[in-house]
């Protein structure tokens, strides 16, 4: 499938991708439908502006590679992408469910730094926006949000940045610093408008102030960088601007030990919290199903009790009718007329018996006549 043109917002988490996606929507690009928007949290009080369903699906894709956003792979190979081939149709359905078929969508997800090669096979090639920040600020923001060490946050930034710079080669890409967006959001939005128009996206002049969406980052930007990390940041700074075709870059070597640092990361606190929330939601849903079943059984019990009470009333009525009939029977059987009638019946039966006995013995026609009269 080749999806109608849209804009991908890519970059490591905590680099300004959320506010960039929000400002892109202010120039007419379409975010995921409201019910699919990831809810705001204390870490992002103004919202994430990304698809919740696609974020969960992307977690599944990463899990297929025994990876996660906090433990991304060293590289993404053709073999790895081919391993996800059986999920392409599902990926297409989920994307359409979130964004529809029309052009002019904007999709932000930090997992795209790793999964861009897979999604290119699903959606085709689309323009991309790559915001970036000082790596120290990114690392401290990740560490603060996820209860990690600074070195772990820095390793996450380095791995994601290397992956996305590799995956963007050949695309139409806008590379922009978060500081530039923060200092002059209106100018930044105007430049993005021109970039999107050049990419053939249906955009329009913003109707409200962009500055309302931008907040001052709380994370400090101090901290040491390795030689390789500083070289990677310098390379990123050199890519600032708009690219009709992003170049294939000669990346510096990865910092020694980054892989060990990433493997040492436990599941981040917010992920554990999210899993507990999901388990709570599942238990709540199960409780509601059991409550509904309980209410249904109570209703059935009440109905059966009503039927039982009705049968009890009928039984009582029949008992009364039976008693009345027995009383009437006793009155009838104790009367003189009944006794005479019963005696006559016994006599008549005796006459018949005697007559038939005589008939069998003699065959006399007269006896037959007597018998007939007796009848």
Q: In the block, which residue shows the tokens 């689309």? A: 126
pLDDT for 365 equals: 55
**Domain match, 199 and 219 both:** yes
Predicted confidence at residue 165, as pLDDT, reads 98
Residue finishing a domain among 223, 248, 266: 266
The pLDDT score that the predictor gives to residue 152 is 97
Same-domain status, 306 and 172 = no
Q: Which residues are registered as beta bridge partners of 128?
A: 8, 173
What pLDDT is recorded for position 217?
A: 65
Same-domain pairing of 289 and 235: no
Same domain, 344 and 322: no
pLDDT tens digits, 311-366: 999 999 998 989 888 888 888 878 877 777 777 777 778 888 888 888 887 765 55
Are the C-beta atoms of 278 and 154 separated by less than 8 Å? no
Cα–Cα distances in angstroms (integers) from residue 265 to residues 67, 148, 259, 275, 346, in the given order: 12, 8, 10, 17, 108
Regions of the chain where pLDDT drops below 70: 207-218, 268-276, 363-375
Domain end (from 266, 286, 307)? 266
Residues ≥6 apart with Cβ < 8 Å to 350: none
Overall pTM surpassing 0.85 (yes/no): no
Domain total of the chain: 3
Q: Is residue 1 part of a domain?
A: no
Same domain, 169 and 70: yes
Beta bridge partners, 30, equal 105
- Print the domain residue range for 64: 6-266
pLDDT in tens, 22-77: 999 999 999 999 899 999 988 888 899 999 999 999 999 999 999 999 999 999 99
């Amino acid at each position: 499938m080749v999806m109608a043109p849209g804009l991908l917002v890519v970059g490591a988490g905590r680099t300004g991708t959320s506010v960039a996606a929000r400002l892109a929507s202010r120039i007419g690009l379409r975010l995921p439908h409201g019910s699919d928007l990831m809810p705001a949290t204390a870490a992002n009080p103004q919202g994430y502006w990304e698809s919740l369903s696609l974020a969960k699906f992307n977690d599944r894709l990463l899990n297929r590679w025994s990876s996660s956003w906090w433990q991304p792979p060293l590289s993404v190979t053709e073999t790895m992408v081919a391993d996800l081939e059986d999920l392409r149709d599902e990926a297409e359905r989920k994307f359409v469910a979130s964004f529809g078929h029309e052009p002019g969508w904007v999709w932000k997800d930090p997992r795209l730094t790793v999964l861009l090669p897979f999604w290119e096979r699903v959606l085709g090639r689309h323009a991309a926006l790559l915001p970036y920040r000082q790596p120290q600020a990114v690392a401290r923001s990740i560490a603060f949000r996820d209860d990690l060490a600074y070195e772990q946050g820095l390793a996450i930034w380095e791995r994601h940045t290397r992956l996305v710079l590799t995956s963007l080669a050949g695309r139409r890409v806008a590379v922009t610093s978060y500081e530039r967006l923060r200092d002059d959001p209106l100018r930044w939005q105007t430049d993005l408008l021109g970039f999107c128009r050049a990419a053939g996206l249906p955009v329009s002049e913003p109707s409200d102030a962009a500055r309302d969406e931008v907040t001052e980052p709380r994370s400090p930007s101090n901290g040491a960088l390795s030689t390789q990390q500083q070289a990677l940041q310098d390379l990123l700074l050199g890519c600032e601007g708009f690219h009709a075709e992003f170049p294939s870059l000669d990346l510096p070597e990865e910092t020694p030990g980054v892989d060990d640092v990433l493997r040492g990361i436990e599941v981040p606190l917010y992920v554990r919290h999210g899993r507990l929330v999901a388990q709570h939601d599942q238990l709540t849903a199960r409780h509601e199903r059991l409550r509904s079943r309980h209410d249904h059984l109570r209703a059935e019990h009440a109905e059966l009790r009503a039927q039982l009470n009705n049968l009890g009333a009928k039984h009582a009525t029949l008992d009364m009718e039976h008693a009345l009939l027995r009383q009437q029977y006793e009155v009838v059987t104790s009367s003189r007329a009944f006794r005479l009638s019963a005696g006559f019946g016994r006599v008549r039966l005796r006459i018949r018996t005697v007559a038939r006995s005589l008939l069998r013995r003699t065959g006399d026609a007269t006896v037959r006549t007597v018998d007939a009269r007796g009848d």
